[in-house]
Amino acid sequence: MANHPDHATLVISSRNYSSWSLRGWLLVRLAGLPCEVRPVAADDPRARAELLLQTASIRIPYLEHDGLKVWDVLAIAEYLHEMFPEAHMMPADRAARATCRSISGEMHAGFNALRASLPVNLRASRPNFPIWSGVRADIDRITDIWRDCIASWGGPYLFGGHLSVADAMFAPVCTRFETYDVALDPVCDAYKHAILATADMRAWKKEALLEPDEVSELEVEVEF
């Protein structure tokens, strides 16, 4: 077992709106690292810019641990995997591990139409929300990834019975699909529900529902 301090601080923005903060928190939970969660102020300009997709770099959330500050969720994931190998955040199988890194990177860098049109909002419910062609292409690619992984490694999660970095990366997508009533095939719908049913996701949503702040630009309404 690695020699490492047993406490950290994770700085986050909104629990209700921030996909990146959710990913960072899930990664810390996967690592098994006791962590103080410290939200930034609702009007923090860095957090607001990131929520509204107005910046190229995501520096919140960030992790403070062992005298270091680590930002960007993929960097946080690799750092925690290195520090806590006993947590098995990456699959043990080499092929699965390579795929885990590949799809996590794809989620990190892509799917801009989905991000812009279906912003994370755990308090909202938008039944029959219209899905435009650019968003549909992103959804089709994501569900292809999910089906391929589950066919290869058996589910219920992307790499079998143990949650991985990739599941943390795609967890906010599951909330988007729930919020905006996205129709899914049975395999992908089962995966979505498996992720949303985890104790960590339920705990995060409980806190998100209590959050008082509202970002009006992310309160998408439908006009027919």
Phi-psi label, residue 27: left if phi above 0, alpha if psi -120 to 50, beta otherwise: alpha
What is the predicted pLDDT for the residue at 212?
79
What is the predicted pLDDT for the residue at 74?
97
- What is the location of CATH 1.20.1050 in the chain? 94-209
- What is the location of CATH 3.40.30.10 in the chain? 8-87
What is the predicted pLDDT for the residue at 1?
41
Q: Is 157 helix (H, G, I), strand (E, B) or coil?
A: strand
- Please report how many Cα atoms fall inside a 13 Å half-sphere around the Cα of residue 91, on the Cβ side: 23
Q: How far is CA 130 from CA 37, 62, 103, in A?
A: 35, 34, 26
Q: Is 139 helix (H, G, I), strand (E, B) or coil?
A: helix
CA angle 12/14/17 to nearest 5° reads 130
Residue numbers in the chain where pLDDT is lower than 70: 1-5, 42, 47-57, 213-224
Dihedral of the CA atoms 17, 22, 25, 31 (nearest 10)?
180
Class of domain 8-87: alpha beta
**Which residues on neighbouring strands pair with residue 64, listed in sequence order?**
9, 69
Single-letter code of the amino acid located at 216 = S
Q: What is the spatial distance between Cα 17 and Cα 5, in angstroms, rounded to a whole number?
A: 30
Tokens for 208, please give them.
């998100």
Alpha-helical regions (H) of the chain: 19-31, 45-51, 73-83, 94-109, 112-117, 133-153, 165-179, 186-196, 199-210
What's the CATH number for 94-209? 1.20.1050
115 alpha carbon, distance to own chain's centre: 12
Indicate the pairing of strand 8-12 with strand 35-39: parallel
What is the predicted pLDDT for the residue at 223?
41
Q: How do residues 134-164 score in pLDDT, each as one tens digit?
A: 999 999 999 999 999 999 999 999 999 999 9
What is the predicted pLDDT for the residue at 221?
52
Task: Say if pTM beats, i.e. exceeds, 0.85.
Answer: yes
